Amino acid sequence: MTSQLAHGREPDRYAVFGSPIAHSRSPGIHAGFARVTGENIEYGTVEPPVEGFAPAVRAFLAGGGRGCNVTTPFKLQALAIADEQRPYAATAGAANCLKFEAGRIIAENFDGTGLVNDIQRNLGYDIAGRRVLLLGAGGAVRGAILPFLEARPTRLAVANRSADEARLLQSAFARHGALDASGLDDIEGAPFDLVVNATSASLFGELPAIPVRLFHDRTLAYELVYGRGLTPFMAFARESGAGRTVDGVGMLVEQAAEAFGWWRGVRPETGSVIQSLRASLPQILET
């Protein structure tokens, strides 16, 4: 970065769009990536009104912006305004990242890739040959299904409070691979090797209505929520015999690294950024 700045070139501008957005860790994460890669960027936050997302993005583009991350509640709108939809975004029906090229908006979704990367690269947990359960049927699960199918589990299941919504996902992804679907209270089969909580329950201090029998002593219980210490889902998984519990800090950093690499052509190392971010959050003691 020093040599680039020495030549007087203005940094390329990026941002994260969301509402609310003040709590976002993305500026710090991307600043860390810029330091370790030497890329000359600045990264801020934008909080447009709920009905003003598209104009805000176009204004950012017109002002020289090069790309943006997108979080709640704008991921569906981000896909809708794109001139080009990349495969993961199109399949998920939502985008969490936009890149601007020659005035065009290109949409992608790195949520699922970030989750799979964290599980396999950082946690050393190979998904191939495992039984995997995704709890929920919202945007996070939609974004995760295709990357999980590509990781070749022996079984991939989706369970949701509304079984009908889970079955809609089953139909939507049928051409990509086998996906089991059920309600939370009628999940069938043997315990799972990996259980991912992608419901919103932990945001409200609640526990999804799931049975104890989902877990065994080698189960990895993964909580998408981060920064809340031991959530009800994580506590329940431990009490039910899960061998390991972890929150979503690694996913947050990994999806950001995918976006950074897409924008800049350089994928940053993530370990030091994950370590730094985790140290700033409530600690979760390993079992």
| 121 belongs to an annotated ligand binding site | no
The reply to whether 26 sits in an annotated binding site is yes
234 within 8 A of 285, measured Cβ to Cβ = no
Q: Is 120 annotated as a binding residue?
A: no
Q: Among 53, 69, 74, 75, which one carries the catalytic annotation?
A: 75
103 labeled part of a ligand binding site = no
What is the DSSP annotation of 97-142? EEEEETTEEEEE--HHHHHHHIIIIIS----TT-EEEEE--SHHHH
The reply, when asked if residue 59 is annotated as ligand binding, is no
- Residue 136 is assigned to a ligand binding site: yes
**β-bridge partners, 261:** none
Is 276 labelled as part of a ligand binding site? no
99 in active site = no
Spell out where the chain has E strands: 12-17, 41-46, 65-70, 84-85, 97-101, 104-108, 131-135, 155-160, 180-183, 194-197, 220-223, 244-246
Whether 111 has a binding-site annotation, put simply, is: yes
255 is in an annotated binding site: yes
Q: How far apart are CA 205 and CA 198, in angstroms?
A: 14
Of 234, 229, 245, nearest in space to 283 by CA: 229
18 is in an annotated binding site: no
Neighbours of 82 (CB within 10 A): 20
Q: Does 228 show up as a binding residue in the annotation?
A: no
Q: Which residues contribute to the annotated binding site for shikimate? A: 24-26, 71, 96, 111, 226, 255
* Residues noted as catalytic: 75
Q: Which residues contribute to the annotated binding site? A: 24-26, 71, 96, 111, 136-140, 224, 226, 248, 255
Q: Which residues contribute to the annotated binding site for NADP(+)? A: 136-140, 224, 248
